Amino acid sequence: MRPEQPDRILRTAPYLQEKHPEWTWEKPVAASREMLLRAHDETLINRLPKPVDFDADTPWFEGIEAHAMLAAGAAVAAMRHALAGRAAFSLMRPPGHHATRGQAMGFCYVNNVAVAALEARASGVGKIAIWDFDGHHGNGTEDILQGREGFLYVSVHQYPGYPGTGTISVNGTRNYPVPPRVPRTELMDTMRRSWDGIVGFKPELVLVSAGFDAYVRDPL
C-alpha cells in the first residue's frame, strides 16, 4: 500500500473536528490556472490529467488534477485568512513542497505554499517568508522562489535524506539540515534559530509548510 493515500485526511479531519468543536471548517475553492502558472511551467500543469505515473512515489490517479488544484486553493485560502488577521490552518492532501517549477515528485503535484506565496505577492504583499519544518527538504519551494526579490525560504529538515538537497543557503534560502536521530533539544534549538532568521527578515506575511513526519512514530 502506498504511504500517500486518502486515509491520511479521512481519519485526521474527524479527529480534529471532535477535539475542536469551536473551529470553523471551510471547503476550499480550487486554485485557478493563472495562480498555478505563477509557480509552475505550463508543461507540468498540462501533464496533470495524463494517466501516467510521475514517479514511484507520485502516482497518477483519476481526479488528481482536481485534488491538486483544491489543495493549492486551500493554501491560498489560509493565506487570505492570515492577511485578514485570522488564524488559519490548511489540512490538505496532496502535499506540495517537493513539486518544482517543472516536475511533480515526492507525493507532490502542485507546490501549494509557493502558489499561495506568489498569489500574496500578486495581491500586493511585499515581503513574504516561508517556514518549512517538514522532515524532508522542500526542494520544490526552493526551486520556485529562490532568487526572487522579497521572499525568504527557511527549511529545517533531516540530512542525509530524501530528496538529497538543502545543504547550502543562497539567494533568499536558508537551510538548516540536521542529522538523523538528533536529540530533540538540539532540533528545537535549530528550530528557534531558524525562526529568529524569519523574525529578522521582518516579513509582512509568514506561510508555514507544516510537515509532521519528524514525529517519532511516523512510519517513514
Q: Which residues are catalytic?
A: 98
Which residues partner with 129 through β-bridges? Answer: 152, 206
Calpha distance 82→153 (Å, rounded): 18
Residues 6+ apart with CB under 8 A from 209: 96, 97, 113, 130, 131, 132, 133, 134, 138, 141
**Helix H or strand E encompassing 78:** helix 64-83
Per the CB < 8 A criterion, the answer to whether 171 and 180 are in contact is no
Q: Strand 173-178 relative to strand 205-209: parallel, antiparallel, unpaired?
A: unpaired
Closest of 45, 140, 151 to residue 101, by C-alpha: 140
Backbone conformation region of residue 63, classed left if phi is above 0, alpha if psi is from -120 to 50, else beta: left
Question: What is the per-residue DSSP string for 3-23?
Answer: SS-THHHHTHHHHHHHH-TTS
